[in-house]
Amino acid sequence: MSVRVRYAPSPTGSPHVGNIRDALFKHLFAAHHHGTHLLRIEDTDRTRFVEGAIEDIFESLHWLGIQWQEGPDKGGAYGPYIQSERQAEGIYDRYIEQLLEAGHAYKAFDTSEELAEMREYQQINKQPIGYFGGVWRDASPEEVAQAEAEGRPFVVRLKIPRDQTIAIEDAIRGRIEWDSNTVDDPVLLKADRMPTYHFAAMVDDHLMEITHIIRGEEWISSAPKHAVLFDAFGWTRPVFVHCPVIKGKDGSKLSKRHGDTRCLDFRAAGILPEALRNFIALIGWSPGGDREILNEAELIEAFDLGGLQPSSGVFDLDKLTWMNGHYLRACTAENLTERLKVFLAHPETARYWEPRDPEKLAALHLLKEGIEKDEAYARQAIELERERVTSLADFGEATAFFFQDEPPFDEKAVEKWLRVDHAGDLIRFLQANLNGAESVSVEACEAMLRGYQEEKGFEKLGPVVHPTRVALTGKTVGPGLFELMSVLGPDRMRARLSRALERTT
Ligand code: GLU
């Protein structure tokens, strides 16, 4: 049987890395087995519906290159792929009827006050909390008919069998067992006739011929209910695969406290999709050995359930930063500039940085303008800085001195290197050498500085390099000096040198 898995998000917010990691696993698993990954939107809980969430789900998946073959946008033989549409077609009603007729489900007419009272009673008496039957589980057909005739609102609940062991075989954790007396009767159909997640998801998993339910560990406690539901219908259960939860470095569940968790925030922060994809694939899954950098094809090749770990995965931001640097260096120069253009033009980039670091945002604007004005020049600046940055967002500050007419001087650097005895002489030497030149090669820049070193008898190049760098960039740190000189070119260098000359005394 061919593998069929589903990513079934509820549009209750923008996907965070945990959701997206599970979606990635499903895509990789399906691709590895030449199976099908489908996208199903679970929107039956209208009270939790968040405007824009569906758009963010698609956007996150597209950005990370997570693929699916069937879904609301693609169609397929098992549609519709949006649960509210399936509900409107009466799909869930049909199956509810079947369960009611077979006695596996029952109508419960409890009022919210009665339910609150029950909970309170359970709390006081230290009993398991939940609905274990009340008066309706074993109510007579006459009592039910009477309540219905009175028009009382009701929900439909699953009749969990009592005094049994419910067991599932989890692909990662093996056999998991529950005493059925501890499993409460879940609502399948709400009073507004909408199915709950428990019901709609399992009916759809069956109808869509899902072979593996791959989902987060937080759903383990629901698994016995789902198993009972499959058994009640006499359907073959899919394989349950509960992926480990993602934790922060401090061991607590990943949350806003740890920084960004929303997938699209990583894009706005300047992370490349292939870096985030590679990084999240390794949270809770291992390809074996100590391989860490895996491209899409390698991930698909290596991904199987055997590599999934039962213990929680750790979200290590330092590792993501390292990986992003790796992928930035792997881009071609053209591709990197193109990606930066998209990044800089995206409104979410400004929305993200404005409240966090306005200076960084200003530097990103400068880079954007720089690219618009002279792309070839900007590309060379980007190329020189790529070894030194770890995110797209770093390029603004890193390349700023290339685009500023008068890059600000770091006063400490001025004190240290422009006040040395030979600084004025060195600057005049450079001015004389650049006189009339239209361009200057990296080699010529090196020869120029080495020429001055020899002429003045300096043992090392440092006393020549440092004042020159401060004069041209205002700072003591940056990319290779000869390279940056060549990129700046004679015109810019001349302007900067005259300005620096004034600071030598
Ligand atoms: N709609 C559920 C969610 O968004 C899906 C859980 C599952 O994969 O079964 O969490």
pLDDT in tens, 66-80: 999 999 999 999 999
In this prediction, residue 288 carries a pLDDT of 87
CB 163 within 8 A of CB 181: yes
Residues 6+ apart with CB under 8 A from 403: 366, 367, 369, 370, 378, 381
- Give the CA-trace dihedral at 105, 143, 45, 219, to 10 degrees: -40
- Please state the separation of Cα 57 from the chain's center in Å: 11
pLDDT digits 0-9 by tens, 395-408:
999 999 999 999 99
Closest CA to 9 of 56, 51, 47: 56
In this prediction, residue 257 carries a pLDDT of 83
In this prediction, residue 321 carries a pLDDT of 97
> Which ligand 1 atom is at minimum distance from the Cα of 201?
9
In this prediction, residue 69 carries a pLDDT of 98
Query: Could you tell me the two tokens for 206?
Result: 């069956």
> Which ligand 1 atom is at minimum distance from the Cα of 205?
9
In this prediction, residue 369 carries a pLDDT of 98
d(CA 355, CA 351): 7
Calculate how far, in angstroms, residue 481's C-alpha sits from the geometric centre of ligand 1. 54
- Active-site pick, 159, 249, 253, 256: 256
Amino acid at 155: V
The length of the chain in residues reads 505
Amino acid at 488: L
The CA-atom distances, in angstroms, between 211 and each of 229, 333, 427, 483, 486 are: 16, 44, 73, 57, 60
Query: Could you tell me the two tokens for 485?
Result: 């000189």
d(CA 473, CA 407): 6
Mark whether 256 is an active-site residue: yes
d(CA 99, CA 192): 18
Query: Could you tell me the two tokens for 367?
Result: 């880079």
Which parts of the chain sit beneath pLDDT 50?
A: none
Ligand 1 pocket at CB < 6 A: 8-10, 42, 197, 201, 215, 219
Calculate how far, in angstroms, residue 449's C-alpha sits from the geometric centre of ligand 1. 64
> Which ligand 1 atom is at minimum distance from the Cα of 197?
1
The CB-side HSE value for 213 (13 A sphere, CA atoms) comes to: 26
Calculate how far, in angstroms, residue 42's C-alpha sits from the geometric centre of ligand 1. 7
Calculate how far, in angstroms, residue 25's C-alpha sits from the geometric centre of ligand 1. 14
Q: What is the DSSP string of 119-170?
A: HHHHHHTTPPPS-S-TTTTT--HHHHHHHHHTT---EEEE-PPSSSEEEEEE
